[in-house]
Amino acid sequence: MGYANYLSIVLGYINFVLIFSVKFQSLSLVELLLTLGLGAAMLSMGVGYVHRIHQMKTDQDSAYEQSRLAARVSIVTLKAIRGTATDEEIEWALNLLKGIAK
């Protein structure tokens, strides 16, 4: 599956260039390949940069929420070890961990 994605991108690019060269026959094929290739590379870098910035924020938010949840479970665990945890806190932590383990 991994290489098939790259192969389909390359074949799609070649198909686009060939169709474009039939439509505009006055341009040489080498100039057309270079122009369209550079344009596609610049566009893909821009889209990749925007996606990376958005994804980093999403990953950071997710990691923060997970660490808050893990901290709460750790607090209940430590309270249970010391014997000061309530039954409701212990049940909450057990239900949460059972839900994760499913």
Give the model's pLDDT for residue 3: 66
Give the model's pLDDT for residue 1: 52
Burial pattern 11-33, b for ≥16 Cβ within 10 A else e, equals eeeeeebeeeeeeeeeeeeeeeb
Give the model's pLDDT for residue 80: 83
Instruction: Reduce the DSSP state of residue 85 to 3 states and report it.
Output: coil
Domain count, the chain: 1
Question: What range defines the domain where residue 58 resides?
Answer: 2-101
pLDDT in tens, the chain (102 residues): 556 777 777 788 778 877 877 887 777 777 777 777 787 778 778 887 888 888 888 887 787 777 777 878 888 887 888 888 888 888 888 888 777 766
